[in-house]
């Protein structure tokens, strides 16, 4: 689906807002449908948050400000993850990346003890 030029969008906003909303919905759905399957669920959740912010706002400007705040919050989380990846992860997720550390000294001692017992 192709986006109409700016003048057409202005005309739609002034005289046919339902048609503009239908266009917006169709374009959003097209973008979500074009995403990989595993990303579609996240995108639908994000769109739900955006739709709720728009619905709860008393004015279009209020909706714009709230959606902008959501974007900045998300950007701050991304920045935190990039700058300090170990602190930004919950401790149970960090465990997924950690391997047990084996003391070589203890391993040698156990091997030596096992050798003594067998002999």
* C-alpha span between 46 and 80 (Å, rounded): 20
Q: What pLDDT is recorded for position 108? A: 81
74 within a domain of the structure (yes/no): yes
35 within a domain of the structure (yes/no): yes
Q: Tokens 């074009």 label which residue?
A: 34
Q: Provide φ and ψ at 45, rounded to 5°.
A: -65, -40
- Domain residue limits at 90: 6-98
* C-alpha span between 69 and 74 (Å, rounded): 9
57 within a domain of the structure (yes/no): yes
What single DSSP character describes residue 101? -
Q: What pLDDT is recorded for position 37? A: 87
90 within a domain of the structure (yes/no): yes
Low-confidence ranges of the chain (pLDDT < 50): 119
**How many structural domains comprise the chain?**
1
CB–CB of 43/30 below 8 Å?
A: no
Q: What pLDDT is recorded for position 110? A: 78
36 within a domain of the structure (yes/no): yes
pLDDT in tens, 30-48: 999 999 988 999 999 999 9
């Amino acid at each position: 689906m192709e986006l109409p030029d700016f003048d057409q969008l202005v005309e739609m906003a002034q005289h046919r807002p339902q048609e503009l909303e239908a266009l917006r919905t169709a374009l959003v759905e097209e973008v979500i449908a074009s995403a990989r399957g595993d990303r579609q669920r996240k995108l639908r959740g994000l769109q739900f948050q955006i739709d709720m912010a728009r619905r709860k706002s008393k004015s279009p400007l209020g909706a714009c400000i709230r959606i902008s705040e959501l974007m900045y919050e998300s950007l701050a989380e991304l920045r935190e993850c990039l700058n300090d990846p170990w602190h930004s992860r919950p401790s149970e997720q960090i465990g997924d990346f950690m391997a047990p550390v084996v003391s070589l000294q203890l391993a040698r001692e156990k091997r030596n003890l096992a050798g003594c017992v067998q002999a």
